[in-house]
Structures are given as structure tokens and as C-alpha cells.
Structure 1
């Protein structure tokens, strides 16, 4: 599934109707959650049927397209399913019990309730919410895809305006020449990552760079009177600054992940549990600023696009073991150089990256590609599922 995003432009009255549609979707989602709490055992099909009852009971809910009401119910159903899945898998800590939404920023339509213009530069919403026609501005061309391929259309409100996202069903595959190289990556806070060849990528620290601006804007928000226009404007400035940082992170990890995948046939990295790592309050801000998890997601995505292999290995002992002789050399976080009695002296992250690569190669044996899909030595598909344990990385 490919998601294309366009900036939407309309009159103030149209933007107010978009806000109304978003609030209606939030209302339906909360009503579905209340229906589930009052009637244990209801299924997602029951929630979809309940949206029709809500449309008859509340006139403003009837103004929203029926597929948008169903999408709101599906969001509630997804939260319920995720909660039961976490309980079944006995995930430690909170299981994510569904909560009522206080704020929602999007409303989603399926394949009805909207219409694209012939030049694909405008979109018209045809339900009774009176949103009307919106101008689309973006760098991507929708003419490459047929209308049947567009499965979802999402209206999204961000700090700098309104956006329209098109979820397009397409199998993206690109072919590149095999390089015959395998690489291990050790992510860190000093350097974003260090590979098994000793090459490091600088950690940009986007949040740290903009932290002073954020603090200044937060002080301005706190000084304004609640409910005033000046406070609303100050909140918008603060939101735009946070949005800029998130876009900088995404742009950085997307370009870096694509470069790493195109340059290597096999990429091995640590299967880190970021949720557990951020419990350290001294490092939580820096870990979140590094966006390791987002980098991993894009690595796995581009691996599927270019037909390469990605392997996630357990991080146990990768920093303490010697990459030459395997001897355990205890080191604290402040010790940045690995020195072993066998004569091996390397940077701590470089040594860990070599251990990660060796661990990955020991898991699947000799690796390679057949030009189409990633295979291991036995001819089995190699999984790139996030969170998969080592024994699940290779599935028939």
C-alpha cells in the first residue's frame, strides 16, 4: 500500500466543514466504544451495523458518508483487536485498553463520498457535510494510478494546514544490481549508526537543535490567556515547530535507509525494544530523538522493494563480546574503546557492528538473492516483520 499526501486548499467555510467531519468521526468512534463496553462480545460487523443506527438517531452523523462512518467504527475495532492480541501474547506492562478519544485529526473515506477532477488537481467530497471541492498541491502525479487502485482517502489536519492522503494499492518493486555485500549496523547516540566496515553516520539530533525554540514557544503559550486568539496562534506556532522536527527526522531516515539497502544485499541490525529502553529517564529524550525504530521500518520497507535481505538479531552481548576471539570484555557506557587481551582494539560501536553481522550470518548461513525475492541458503523466504524474534526470522 502506497500513501501519497497532498496539501489541500479551500475557503474558511470549507475548512470549518472539514473540522466538523473530523468531530463527527470522533463521535462515532467513541459511541462504538461505548456500545462495545455495554455489550461485551460484539464483533466488528456489529460495530459497522451500529453506525447506521447512529445515523438515524443523530442528524449530524447522517451528513457524514456511510463509508467514513464505517472507517471510524473500524478504528474502534482495531483498538479492541489490538488489546485482546496483547493480552493473548502476555505482553508485559499495559495492554492498551481502548480509550475514548479527546482529539482526532483525521476522517477517512473509502471508495465513495469523493470524486477527483479530470486533471487530478482537485477533489470534491460529495456527502452532506458540504466540504465541496478542494485544490490539491503536491509533487506526485495521480495519473499514474487508476481510480480503482485508490482504496482510501483521508482528510488530515496538521499544525500547518489540511492535507489529503490517498492510500493506493500497488505492488512496488524495483530492480538493482547485486552488490555481493553484507553489512551489520549498530545504532547509537554518539553516532546514528556504525557499520561493520567502521563507517559511521553522524547523529543529526534534530530535537536538540530546535529545543531552545520549542522552550521559547512553550513559554509564550503558557503566558497567553486560555481561550484567547493569541493563545491559539501561539499553539499553532509551537505545533509547526514540532511538525518541522518530525519531518526532518523522516526525511533523514528515509534517505539513509534507501542508501543502505541499495548499497548492500544483506543488512543485519539489532532487534531493539525501544519501549523498554526509554524507561531510562536520563536517555529517553536522546533515544526518541534518534528515531531508531522509524529507521528500522524504512530499512525493511526498502528491502522488500529492492528484493534485499534484512535480519534482526538479539542484541545480547554484542557490545561486550570480542569480535575476534569471542571473549567477554565488560564495559560501561562511558567506555568507547574495545580492548581485548587477544590484541583486538576497536571502537566500541565498530566491534558491536561486527558481532551483529557475525550473528546474522550464523543464523541463516550463506545468504544471497535470486533477483526477485530474498532467500536464505535453504530457499526459504526471509521475514522482515518488526518485533519478530530470531527463530521467526525465517519462515517457510
Structure 2
């Protein structure tokens, strides 16, 4: 995590070194962790993310030669450069495809091109939306520079299209919405069909709780096949049930018509996960002890493990060890097939729980995990 002022100065200095001039500004967008609501977004369902304190920063300046130049402090030092008229899905590839997709979406506003330097402390491949932090930081920068009439909701769609259509990652709108719309001290309750949002207070520290993220070190990518397979299976289940999306199935009893075991499992996760989101929001809105959401988080993990079948040995080991050590609840987060888990724990037991997870990983000869606590933080903003 980097202080905003120091982060902006670092990005400005790096931009000047790479491109020989000053950027017009520096913008930041955070990664996210989902309190509850995995894979429900592309099923028109409910999600409840918080923004991380970790951000991706974009230093940007417009050009006049019709070219786009992209550099990253986390890359190999090379500048990816090509003409605006050369942009196309897969060109450029790799990390540069994400900001290039945003540029492509606003090409009519950017005839002169731009130079872009990015810097990040969002863990990559950990299921914490590093790609959305990248696209959203660039989207906000370009909104401010060339398209001031765009709303934050417009930027959510612009960033989503960059990932879906340009890069080929079949995400919903959860990641981009969290990165752009979250506010400090709150979780974002999002109805992905109606695009309605509510800022739900989430001050865990006030009641002696912490939300730990455990990065298992097993990387994943949305563009790999497993995520896309799950999305297609959910669409197939909805089609067989004769509903627009699995959001329209009221409860598990409504899945009785599914005679395919795989499709039944996938649909059951979505239906029960939507119910879990609503229950967690109900608890957090009221005067109930937030510790009550712990068992709901664990139920979500079991559903992701058994019905959606996207967990891993490392994620399961993390959740099991954390709960045995006294956590109120834990579950994997993100797209699955690797990444991170989130753990709800009393502050006084946080170090003990983290040590128990590390010991379990060591016992099973897994790579050492990385653990950090999450403070619900601000969404995308201009740093200067």
C-alpha cells in the first residue's frame, strides 16, 4: 500500500524518465475484495465488495502524433508503442491490452494519442481485481482529460468492455463497479441487473474485528478457460429453466427441472449465493453483531468448492486452518482456480490465525502465503 502523495510523485517521476515530459495528471483506482457474492454479477445477481487500500496509478499525457505508448513499473521496462489505428483485440497483448482497450473505447476523443505510465501495488493474479484497477484508473484519467460528460457508471461499462471485448476476459461488472464506486468505510451493495447501489457501513475495527486477505500465491487469470466455462454453464442452466438469468430463480426448489448434475450444481451456487448476499446486507444494515456473517462466509466457500468447483487445495487449506484457529468465517474470493481467501477474525486473534494458516501451508509444502488486513477504502480518484 502506498500513500497517495508518495504514489503520485513516484508515478510522475517514472513518467518523466520514460517519456521525457510531465504527465497531465495521475489517477488511481483500487483493487477489490468481495465480502460475499462470487460469480453472481454475470447472472444479474447481487454482490457486496469493498475497495482495497492497494491501487494502480496511471500517469497520463496526451500526444499529437496519433500513437499510444504504454509503460509499467512492474514490467520489463520496455515501452509498448503503436498507432491508434493499429489497436485491435490481441494487439497489443499482455498487460498492455487492458489500457489499450479503454483507449479503443474512446478513440473518437483521442485522435492525437497518449502516453501512459502505470504503477501498482495491487497483487496480480490473487483474485483481487488487479486488471479492473488498471482499466479503471485509465478510464477515469481519460474521462477527466477528454470526455468529461461520462458518468462513473459509463466508466464501469467502458472498463468492462475493455476486459470482455478487447482482452477476452469474460468478467461481469463487479470488479469495475467496486473499483469506481466504492467509498471509504463501506461495502458496496450492487444489484447488477438494476445497477442500483447502496453504501453499506462496514466499520469492523469499531467492534474489534479484522478482515484478513490471504494470498495463497497460486495465480489465476480470467482469460483462462475455467471462468468462461462456468459462465457458459450458468447461461445454459438459465436457458433450460426458461428464465432470463439465474437471478430470476427464487430458491433452490426452482431448480428441480434441471436434470443435468453439473448445471444443477452451478445454478444452486448462484441461487444460494444471492441469498447469502442479501442476508449479509441485512445483518450489516442493522444493529446485529457483524460476527454473525462469519458462518455465511463459510457457507459461501463450501458452495464455491462443491457446487461451483473452483476452489483449490491451497484455498481449502487456508479456510480450514483459519476456522480451526478461531476465525468467525472464511472463504475463497475472486474468479477461482487460485488467488486469495478472506477471513473474518477478532483483531486480538488475527496474528494467531495468520500463523495457523502459514503453519498449515508449511506442513503441506505449499508456497508461503501473504496475509494483510483490509480497510474498506475509497474508489478511483485523481491524485494530482
TM over 0.5: no
Question: TM-score w.r.t. structure 1 length?
Answer: 0.27
Question: TM-score w.r.t. structure 2 length?
Answer: 0.27
Q: Which has the higher contact order (CA 8 A, sep 6+)?
A: 2
